[in-house]
Structure 1
Amino acid sequence: MEPELDGPGRQRPVGRGPKVRAAVLAATLAELADGGYAALTVENVARRAGVHKTTVYRRWRDRESLVVDALAEQIAADIPIPDEGDVETDLRELARRFVGWATSPGGRAVLAAMLSDAVRVPEIADARGRLFQDRLRRAEPLVARAVERGELPADTDPARLIGTLVAPIYLRLLITGEPVDEATADQAARVALAAARAGALRR
């Protein structure tokens, strides 16, 4: 078994196979969240995961491939799309769930990587594109259901609506540094819904 540090001078096993992979990817996200991509090293990831760096190099050839895999895990992490039968409730709940993800350790790590020089690596830039496209694709049924119920104009563009929803949240997270909480999510949902109903977010 691979040793995992458990306090000064002590170690405990982290297991094999999937457990080691999960520990290393979790450590990668934690390192990204704490120090960003520029400061991330395989040695620090291995130390945080409680494994030898040779264990990491047996599975990942370099830090770029390690970061790509860690981001892919986050892309696969589902943000459930609400279906409460009312577009106002659905948008508010979606915004709250997005805030919950974006302020989680995994979400913060993804944002740190996406805004760093990591995006110069083609695979990481591709992961960023897939992340946002995946989020938009998952939200399309919410908009389609609202159109079917007559709550939104028939030509409402799902991508523009979701973009309007998350934009003020990203502004606080990445630019102003203001608090991001449920009140932020609720306000973003109100603005996006008002814009959509006014026909400002048509295709």
Structure 2
Amino acid sequence: MTSEGVEPGTVRPGGRTARVRESVLRAAGDALAEHGFDGLDLADVARRAEVGKTTVYRRWSTTTGLIADLLDDMAEQSTPRTDTGSLIGDLKANARLVVKTLSDPRQGALFKSVIAAATCDARTAESLHRFYAIRVQEWAACVTQALERGELPAGTDPGEVIRAVSAPLYYRLLAGGGPLDTAAADRAAEAAAAAARAGVYVM
């Protein structure tokens, strides 16, 4: 913490400072995708972003502080959820977005690096959990709407349904459990929808 009690990398800047933040976070994402968490170096990030090392060290101070800010920015920039008017349509849209992200060479490698870092660093884990909490909350609204339409049993937990959609897709990313494609996305959505209709996620 700083003397004012603010964690480095958590203040939202404006103007030129915002442009510097954007450049540094883009550079950090590139470095993570290329070299992983162990290879992330603040000096290298500064070089890639074409800003002074002191600027990066003063604002973020540590690689975990930089990753935390990167994850917050990723959550803010994420694509809004789709509203197709049906549960299965919405869940397929969610699954296909996950597949599009994880199968992207840069984004897939970036998520692998951040997830690996979260297994051994508490602050990175906290930031990653916050990122996914935001994304789950965004898409959980489609399950809430399905409940209102009577498509699902009362008491269904919307967050659990959304997590059930993405879980098998992340397994494929991290454990090599098959291709990440549209067919895999649709199967994950259909399985989650079927389980939800059967009352599996009633809490």
**Aligned counterparts, 1:1-203, within 5 A:** 16-104=16-104, 105-106=106-107, 108-116=109-117, 118-176=118-176, 178-203=178-203
> Mean Cα displacement is larger for which, 84-93 or 96-105?
96-105
Q: Which residue of 2 aligns with 1:12?
A: none
Deviation (angstroms), 1:106: 4.2
Aligned residues: 188
Q: Deviations over 1:74-103 (max 9, x none)?
A: 122233222121111111111111222333
Deviation (angstroms), 1:125: 1.9
1:71 and 1:110 in contact (8 A); partners too: no
Output the CA distance in 2 between the equivalents of 1:82 and 1:71: 22
Q: For the aligned residues, what is the CA RMSD?
A: 2.1
2:37 and 2:116 in contact (8 A); partners too: no
Output the CA distance in 1 between the equivalents of 2:199 and 2:119: 35
Gap change, CA 1:67 and 1:168, over 3 Å in 2: same
Deviation (angstroms), 1:41: 0.6
Q: Which residue of 2 aligns with 1:6?
A: none
Output the CA distance in 1 between the equivalents of 2:167 and 2:119: 20
Output the CA distance in 2 between the equivalents of 1:191 and 1:113: 27
With the length of structure 2 as denominator, give the TM-score of the two structures.
0.83
With the length of structure 1 as denominator, give the TM-score of the two structures.
0.83
* Pair member with larger Rg: 1
> Mean Cα displacement is larger for which, 33-42 or 56-65?
56-65
Deviation (angstroms), 1:52: 3.3
Deviation (angstroms), 1:119: 4.6
Q: Deviations over 1:166-201 (max 9, x none)?
A: 111011111116321222211111111111112222
2:34 and 2:109 in contact (8 A); partners too: no
Deviation (angstroms), 1:136: 1.8
2:156 and 2:199 in contact (8 A); partners too: yes
1:74 and 1:110 in contact (8 A); partners too: no
For 2:115, the aligned partner's letter is: M
Name the % identity: 40
1:169 and 1:188 in contact (8 A); partners too: yes
For 1:115, the aligned partner's letter is: A
Q: Deviations over 1:111-155 (max 9, x none)?
A: 411222x55433222101111211221122111111111211122
User: What SS does structure 2 have at the residue aligned with 1:17?
Assistant: helix
User: What SS does structure 1 have at the residue aligned with 2:39?
Assistant: coil
Deviation (angstroms), 1:38: 0.7
User: What SS does structure 2 have at the residue aligned with 1:162?
Assistant: helix
